C-alpha cells in the first residue's frame, strides 16, 4: 500500500468543501489509522475562478471529469456533485477503471445501487455510501457491520431533517405549514423547491436503501408507500397532542416471516416514544433485531461537516481494505428474494378526524360501520363546532389491516352523517 492515497473529488459545494477541510485537518489521524496520508489530487468544478470556502490548490481544480475518472494516479473517487444520470455514468467509468468510489448520493443509490454495487464487485472495487442516509449518523455501517450477526425485523426513524424541523415548529408554536416552510427556507433548512423533502421522496429513497441492507433483499423506491406532510394542519397537531401523541414524518420498514413493508408517511407516536423527542433538523433511526433488541442512532442528518465526516469514514474503510487486499467484498449480494406484504398483511392503528352531523344517531351510525369491519376504538374525542350544527370526532382505532382501514375510510365518505373526513394518519408504537 502506498504512503499516500490519491483522491479525486467530483464536486466542491458545501459537502465537498467539508471533505477537503476534514482531510486537511486530520492527516495525522489518517496516517495513524491506516498508515497513509491522503492527497486530494484533482477536484471537478464548474468554474475555475469561483471563490472557494476552503483553500484548494488551483492546479488541482479541473472542469474535465476525465482528469479524475480516467487518471491512473487517482486511487479513490469521491462523488458529491449530486444528480442521477451523469453521476451514475461517472461512477461506472471510475469503477471500470479500477477506482474505488465513495458517494453521498442517496437518489442514485436508491435507484441504481444494485447495478453499481455489482459493477464494483466485478472490478474488485469498493463502493461505499454511508453519507447517503442520515448525514453523519453511521447507520449504514451499523447495519452492515455492527448488526451483521443479527436478524433485523424493523427499521424505523426520522430520516429527513427538513420535515422534522417543520413539524417541530408547527407543534411548538401552532404555526401553519406554509409559515414554517417559508422560515425553514430562509434559514437554509429547506430548499427553494422543497418538493423532494416535504412530499416524502427524500425519506423514501433513504428507507429503500436501509431496507435493502437491513433485510438483505433488493428493495426499490417503487416498493415504498409514500406520503408527505403538505396536508398536515395545526388542528391535526393540536388533537394529536390532546390524545397523547406527537406527529413525525416516519420511515418504517418491517419484516415478518420473510415478507416486508416499507413506507414513509406522517405518523402519530406516543409522547413517551424516544422518536417523539427528536426535534428540529435532527435525525434518529431505531433498529430492532431479534437478538440485540432495540438500538437507536441519533445525530445531525445533514450539514457540511457531519456529512463530510461520514464520507471520510468511508474513505478510511477503503484505505483499510487496500492495506488488507480485500477491496470489492464489503457488501454481499442480497440473500433473500423480495416479498412484499399485501394490504391485508400490513397492520397498524389509525387516527381519523371527521366532521359529522350533530344529531341523534350519528355516533351509532359511525360505530356500526366500524363494528361491521371488526375494528374497535382505542381513543375517542367528540367536540361540538361553535356556531354550526356539526361536531368534530377524533378517533384512534385499535390495530387493523391497511385493506380493512381503506374500506372503512371509503365507506365513511359515503356515510350520510359524515360531512367530511378531514384527516387520516397512521399511528405507530404503544400498546
Query: Active-site residues: which are they?
Result: 206
8 A C-beta contact, residue 11 and residue 81: yes
Counting Cβ atoms within 10 Å, is residue 193 exposed (0-12), middle (13-18) or buried (19+)?
Answer: exposed
**Within 123-160, where are the H helices?**
139-141
Per-residue cell: 159: 430520516
Residue 55 phi/psi, 5° resolution? -80, 115
**Within 174-292, where are the H helices?**
177-187, 195-198, 201-215, 234-242
Report the helix count and the strand count for the chain, using DSSP H and E. 14, 17
Q: What is the DSSP code (8-state) at residue 394?
A: E
Task: Collapse the DSSP code of 220 into the 3-class scheme (helix H, G, I; strand E, B; otherwise coil) and give the result.
Answer: coil
Q: How many Å from the N-terminal Cα to the C-terminal Cα in the chain? A: 55
Separation of alpha carbons 195 and 186, rounded Å: 16
**Within 267-374, where are the H helices?**
304-324, 362-372
Separation of alpha carbons 351 and 335, rounded Å: 37
Sequence-distant contacts of 89-95: CB under 8 A, at least 24 apart: 90/10, 90/65, 91/116, 91/127, 92/116, 92/119, 93/69, 94/68, 94/69, 95/119, 95/120, 95/123, 95/125, 95/127
Candidates 291, 308, 290; CA nearest to 300 is 308
Separation of alpha carbons 248 and 237, rounded Å: 10
Pairing verdict, β 390-397 and 4-10: unpaired
Counting Cβ atoms within 10 Å, is residue 299 exposed (0-12), middle (13-18) or buried (19+)?
Answer: middle
Separation of alpha carbons 67 and 61, rounded Å: 10
Pairing verdict, β 418-427 and 259-270: parallel
8 A C-beta contact, residue 376 and residue 408: no
Per-residue cell: 140: 449504514
Amino acid at each position: 500500500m502506498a504512503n499516500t492515497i490519491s483522491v479525486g473529488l467530483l464536486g466542491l459545494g458545501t459537502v465537498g468543501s467539508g471533505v477537503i477541510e476534514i482531510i486537511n485537518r486530520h492527516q495525522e489521524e489518517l496516517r495513524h489509522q491506516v498508515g497513509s496520508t491522503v492527497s486530494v489530487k484533482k477536484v471537478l468544478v464548474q468554474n475555475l475562478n469561483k471563490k472557494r470556502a476552503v483553500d484548494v490548490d488551483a492546479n488541482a481544480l479541473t472542469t474535465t471529469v476525465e482528469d479524475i475518472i480516467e487518471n491512473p494516479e487517482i486511487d479513490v473517487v469521491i462523488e458529491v456533485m449530486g444528480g442521477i444520470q451523469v453521476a451514475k455514468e461517472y461512477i461506472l467509468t471510475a469503477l471500470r477503471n479500477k477506482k474505488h468510489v465513495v458517494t453521498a448520493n442517496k437518489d442514485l443509490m436508491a435507484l441504481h445501487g444494485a447495478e453499481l454495487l455489482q459493477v464494483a464487485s466485478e472490478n474488485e472495487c469498493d463502493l461505499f455510501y454511508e453519507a447517503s442516509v442520515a448525514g453523519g449518523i453511521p447507520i449504514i455501517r451499523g447495519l452492515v457491520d455492527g448488526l451483521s450477526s443479527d436478524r433485523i425485523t424493523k427499521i424505523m426513524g426520522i430520516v429527513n431533517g427538513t420535515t422534522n424541523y417543520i413539524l417541530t415548529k408547527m407543534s411548538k408554536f401552532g404555526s401553519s405549514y406554509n409559515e414554517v416552510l417559508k422560515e425553514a427556507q430562509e434559514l437554509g433548512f429547506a430548499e427553494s423547491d422543497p418538493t423532494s423533502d416535504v412530499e416524502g421522496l427524500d425519506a423514501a429513497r433513504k428507507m429503500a436503501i436501509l431496507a435493502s441492507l437491513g433485510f438483505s433483499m433488493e428493495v426499490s423506491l417503487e416498493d415504498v408507500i409514500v406520503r408527505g406532510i403538505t396536508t398536515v394542519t395545526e388542528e391535526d397537531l393540536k388533537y394529536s397532542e390532546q390524545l397523547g401523541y406527537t406527529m413525525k414524518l416516519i420511515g418504517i420498514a418491517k419484516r415478518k416471516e420473510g415478507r416486508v413493508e416499507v413506507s414513509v408517511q406522517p405518523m402519530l407516536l406516543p409522547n413517551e416514544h424516544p422518536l417523539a423527542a427528536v426535534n428540529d433538523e435532527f435525525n434518529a433511526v431505531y433498529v430492532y433485531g431479534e437478538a440485540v433488541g432495540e438500538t437507536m442512532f441519533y445525530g445531525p442528518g445533514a450539514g457540511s461537516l457531519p456529512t463530510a465526516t461520514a464520507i471520510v469514514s468511508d474513505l478510511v474503510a477503503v484505505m483499510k481494505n487496500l492495506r488488507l487486499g480485500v477491496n470489492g467484498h464489503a457488501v454481499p449480494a442480497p440473500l433473500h428474494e423480495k416479498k412484499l406484504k399485501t394490504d391485508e398483511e400490513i397492520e397498524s392503528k389509525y387516527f381519523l378526524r371527521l366532521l359529522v352531523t350533530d344529531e341523534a344517531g350519528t355516533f351509532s351510525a359511525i360505530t356500526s360501520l366500524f363494528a361491521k369491519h371488526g375494528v374497535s376504538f382505542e381513543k375517542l374525542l367528540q367536540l361540538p363546532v361553535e356556531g354550526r350544527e356539526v361536531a368534530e370526532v377524533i378517533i384512534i382505532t385499535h390495530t387493523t389491516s391497511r385493506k380493512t382501514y381503506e374500506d372503512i375510510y371509503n365507506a365513511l365518505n359515503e356515510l350520510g352523517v359524515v360531512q367530511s373526513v378531514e384527516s387520516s394518519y397512521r399511528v405507530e408504537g404503544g400498546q
